[in-house]
Structure 1
Amino acid sequence: MSSPSTYCLTLAGPMLKRGFWLYVWRVEVPGGAEPWLYVGRTGDNSSPNAGAPYTRMGQHLGSLENQNALRKHLLAKGLTLAECTFHLISHGPIHPEVERPASAEERKARRAELMELHLPLRNEVGAYERDLAAALADAGYQVLNTVRWKPVGNPDQWGRVLAAFAKHFPKLEQAR
C-alpha cells in the first residue's frame, strides 16, 4: 500500500455559475505522450437546465453511466484514471441559464415553456462544441470525442470562442 499524498485543486469561483459553457478537458497521460482532449458543453438535451462546469467536472469522472463520457473514453484507450492529470479549461457562460423556478412542481408545470427558451441557446452552444472539437482535431490535437450536431452558431460569437481557447491551445491560431 502506498503512503498518503496531499494534492491541491484550485477552482475559480465563476466556474460555479450556471449557464451555457464550453469546456475542454486536457488529460496528461503517463509516459509523456501527447495529452488527450475532450470537448464538452453545459446545457442539457433533456431538460431546460444549464449547469456549471464545476458540476460537469465531477460527473465526467464519476460512475453514473449517462454522465461519465470522459471516463468511458479514457478507459477505452486503456488508461488508468488515477495515473492521469486532468486540466479543465472552461469558457462562459456564453448565455445564462433560462429561468429556473425554485420549486420542482413549478419546473414541471412550466417545462414546455422553459424548453422553448432553452433549445435555441443549447443548439447554438452545441454548434460551438462541434466546431471546437473539429478545430482542435484539425490543428493536430488528439481529441477523444467527435461531436455530432446539426444546428449552426453565430459566426461572431464563434470567433470569440475560438480566440478564447486559442490562448490555451496555440495550434488553434491556424484555424483563426
Structure 2
Amino acid sequence: MAPATHVLTLPGPMLRRGFWLYVWRVETPAGELLYVGRTGDNSSPHASAPYTRMGQHLGSVATQNALRRHLEKRGLPLEACDFHLVSHGPLYDEVAKADGATRAALMAAHTPRRDIVGAMEKALAEGLSAAGYAVVNTVHCKWRLDAALWAPVRAAFAEHFPELNAIPPPLTARHRA
C-alpha cells in the first residue's frame, strides 16, 4: 500500500463524557454494515465519550473491540473499510465523582441512567434491523423503554437512517413504557 494522506474531522462535543448512543456505519467490500452501541458502563459508574469508544472499538483489547471482532469474523480487514460514527448525546451527564462517595453510591446514581439508555440502544438496534439495515450486533437488554424519551432520540437517528421511519414505535410490547 502506497503512502496516502487522510483527514479525520472530529467535532469537539464528541469528547464530552456522558451517556451517548451511537451507530457505526461501516462501508465494507461486502456492503454496508452497522454496529449499535452506547456509552455508560454496566460494571462501573463511568460513561465515556463517543471518541473514546471509537478508538476502543477498533483497538486490540478483546473486552473493548466488539466492532473489530464482528468485522474480522466476517473476514473483513479493517483497512479495507471506511468508518462513519453517528453519535447522539449526551443524553445524560456522567455521574459526578463527589469526594468520599462510595462506589455503591456512584453506581446507585449511574444505574437508572444506564438502564434508560440501554433500553434505547436495544430499540435502536432492533429498529434498524427491522428497517432492513444490516446490524452486526444484537443488544441484550431487559430494561424498559420509555417511549416519550425514545421518540426524539429515534427521530435524531432517523435523519441519518431514514428507513427507521418505516418502523412504528415502540417495536414490541416488551418496550412499552
TM-score over 0.5 for the pair:
yes
- Could you list the per-position Cα deviations for residues 114-145 of structure 1 after superposition, in whole angstroms to 9, with x for gaps in the alignment? 00000010011000000100000000000000
Unmatched 5+ residue regions in structure 1? Answer: none
Aligned equivalents of 2:87, 2:97: Cα separation in 1: 22
Paired position in structure 1 for 2:65: 68
1:123 to 106, 115, 125: 115
Q: Distance in 2 between matches of 1:4 and 1:86?
A: 19
Q: Is the partner of 1:21 in helix, strand or coil?
A: strand
Alignment: residue pair count: 168
Matched, 1:59 2:56: yes
- Partners of 1:16 and 1:9 in 2: how far apart? 14
Structure 2 segments unaligned to the other structure (5+ residues): 169-177
Instruction: Give SS of 1:6's match.
Output: coil
**Which residue among 144, 148, 155 is the counterpart of 2:136?**
144
Contact 1:24 1:89 in 2 (8 A): yes
Alignment partner of 1:37 is 2:45 = no
Given the alignment, which residue of 107, 132, 135 partners 2:127? 135
* Percent of residue pairs identical: 60
Q: Distance in 2 between matches of 1:63 and 1:75?
A: 12
RMSD: 1.2
Q: Which has the higher helix share?
A: 1
- Tell me the amino acid that sits aligned with residue 88 of structure 2: H
What is the CA–CA distance in structure 2 between the aligned matches of 1:174 and 1:3, rounded to whole Å?
Answer: 43
